[in-house]
Amino acid sequence: GQIYFDFSGYSDMAIGLGRMFGFHFRENFEHPYASRSIVEFWRRWHISLSTWFRDYLYIPLGGNRCPPLRRSLNLWIVFVLCGLWHGASTTFLVWGIYQGTFLVLERTRLDRLRAKLPGWAAQIYTLAVVVVGWVLFRANTLNEALVHLASMSRLLQQPWSGETGIVATLASQVDAVVALALIASVIFATRQPAELLARNFKRPQLDRVAPFARDSALIVCFFACIVSAAATTFRPFLYWQF
């Protein structure tokens, strides 16, 4: 979640600043955590980078015109290089291999099994694969990644209820404000809020009122963000080094 909201917010800021100067850039994220497969996730995540790798690496290697085995190899090579593009470290290399392997599996045998899953189960599968991948991406070493994955595994083995259950553990460590922020983050990570706003703001009866209310709310939020940012210490974006 940290990587998504940090980088998606960074991209939205760039898009907004571009529009202030008359430039229109396409969205860089299209609700990737609503995806039902890893293939769909990478069509929605960091679209500019995915498009660049597709146009300048995957297609020159042969793209989808090659036989199935060569096509899978091309896809795997692209994601290995994508991992190394983020940094010349073992964790990024393993992350690229990990992502490429799941993409190849979905293009071959795994997709048949995934297609039989109900929508909610396919989303859980995708989220689980992505979360494990982010542990590799954020860790400084492979040993650190394994320690985090082991901790996640032990947490999942705990009962949900009881004094030592997952719910009680989270309740003791997360206050109400953080809990509400997490709930809001989950809701706004899906496409439904954006579709609802777009549908309502296009209604003819709101043409006169909605733009004023929308612009006023945006101005208030803009200054609130400036005040909030000025009151805290500087924290660079996670993706600044890339």
Active site residue 86: yes
DSSP state of 23: -
DSSP state of 174: -
DSSP state of 58: I
Question: CB neighbours of 41 closer than 8 A, spacing ≥ 6?
Answer: 32, 33, 35, 126, 130
Please tell me the distance from the alpha carbon of residue 33 to that of residue 12, in angstroms, as a whole number.
17
Q: Is 62 left (phi over 0), alpha (psi -120 to 50) or beta?
A: left
Please tell me the distance from the alpha carbon of residue 139 to that of residue 3, in angstroms, as a whole number.
13
Please tell me the distance from the alpha carbon of residue 90 to that of residue 101, in angstroms, as a whole number.
16
Torsion angle defined by CA atoms of residues 186, 192, 198 and 202, in that order, rounded to the nearest 10 degrees: -140
Say which amino acid occupies 27: E
CA angle 39, 40, 44 (to 5 degrees): 120
Q: Which two tokens stand for residue 226?
A: 């400036």
Q: Which of 24, 46, 86, 148 is catalytic?
A: 86
Question: What are the catalytic residues?
Answer: 86
